[in-house]
Amino acid sequence: MHSIALRTRFLLDETARLAQLHGRAAGAVTLVGVSKTHPAGSIREAAAAGLQHVGESYVQEALSKIALLTDLPVTWHFVGRLQANKTAAVATHFDWVHAVDRLRIAERLNEQRPADKAPLQCCIEVNLSGEESKGGVAPDALPALAAAIATMPRLQLRGLMALPAPTDDPALQRAPFARLRGMLEALRHTHPGLDTLSMGMSADMEAAIAEGATLVRIGTALFGPRAVRAATAGSEHA
Ligand SMILES: *Cc1c(COP(=O)(O)O)cnc(C)c1O
């Protein structure tokens, strides 16, 4: 078996094992394989090995792969930062958007989601570090953004997403994930249908699962290392 197939099988088992280890319900954690920079053939291999959820971060790159893989029974997640001029493509071709972080983006996705598709499943990205250069809504602006999105008929608000600063220390890894979980719990008082925490990547997957992740976004550990993107593609950075 090819290594992508082996790693897919391993990660599907590993997410289930870690969920059980940390007292989570069976099936509570869904593996989203993040395939940015990797070719469509790699996604096909992972899907053949059981991957059902695929994440992409760059719109143009994702559209060409989605067009090659229309026969695959996978759910497409847009996990990157979204620019206003790319919302129509994302609203049309994806099932989930993980990093909605401002009203204008939500409004455009709501207007552009095709009527013949289910509402676009959305998470709000929260900026946990306070660094303005980072994506995500500030925690104190989160309730207002959630309330606005909850009124949009073509979007279904599902929960929260975060990308904490990397650290190798498992104890330090858990703290921001615990904060995000607390924010979701607080929001559930007014939005009881929220059920999603998109958190955890290759290096901090266990910490995220321990703190309640329902979607883990795994790139390197599944598809292998990424080549550095060419500078000419820089206009589309996540
Ligand atoms: C690339 C990416 C990932 C996957 O990261 P790995 O460290 O390779 O697992 C997860 N989430 C987002 C938003 C990404 O852009």
**Residue keyed to tokens 């719990």:** 185
Q: Supply the DSSP symbol for 228.
A: P
Q: Please, what are the domains in the chain?
A: 4-223 (3.20.20.10)
42-100: pLDDT as tens digits: 999 999 999 999 999 999 999 999 999 999 999 999 999 999 999 999 999 999 999 99
Pocket test for ligand 1, best of 161, 201, 226, 228 (most atoms within 8 A of CB): 201
With a 6 A CB cut-off, is 220 part of the ligand 1 pocket? Answer: yes
Residue 233 in this model has a pLDDT that exceeds 80: no
Q: Are 180 and 159 in contact (CB under 8 A)?
A: no
Answer whether 80 contacts ligand 1 (Cβ < 6 A): yes
Residue appearing with tokens 């499943």: 121
121 forms beta bridges with: 96, 156
pLDDT at 230 over 60: no
pLDDT of residue 79: 98
Residue with token string 């996540």: 238
Q: What is the token pair recorded at 133?
A: 């250069």
151-179 per-residue burial string, b: 16 or more CB within 10 A, e: under 16? ebebbebbbbbbbbeeeeeeeebbebbeb
pLDDT of residue 134: 85
The backbone torsions φ and ψ at residue 222, rounded to the nearest 5 degrees and listed phi first, read -105, -55
The CA 193 to ligand 1 mean position distance, Å, reads 26
| pLDDT number for residue 136 | 97
Name the residue among 111, 68, 66, 69 with its Cα closest to residue 91. Answer: 111
pLDDT, the chain, mean? 94
Is 162's C-beta closer than 6 angstroms to any atom of ligand 1? no
pTM: 0.95
Nearest CA to ligand 1 atom 12: 79
Least trusted range by pLDDT, from 87-101, 119-133, 143-157: 119-133
The DSSP result for 143-182, as a single string, is HHHHHHHHT-TTEEEEEEE--PPP-S-HHHHHHHHHHHHH
Q: What is the pLDDT of residue 224?
A: 96
Where do runs of H (alpha helix) occur along 22-58? 40-48
* pLDDT category of residue 229 using cuts at 50, 70 and 90: low
Distances (CA, A) of 33 to 51, 127, 128, 183, 218: 7, 23, 23, 25, 5
* Count, residues in the chain: 238
Q: At residue 6, does pLDDT exceed 80?
A: yes
Which of 48-57, 127-136, 202-211 comes out lowest in average pLDDT?
127-136
Tokens read off for 189:
């008082």
Ligand 1 centroid to Cα of residue 189, in Å, is 30
Q: How confident is the model at residue 238 (pLDDT cuts 50, 70, 90)?
A: very low
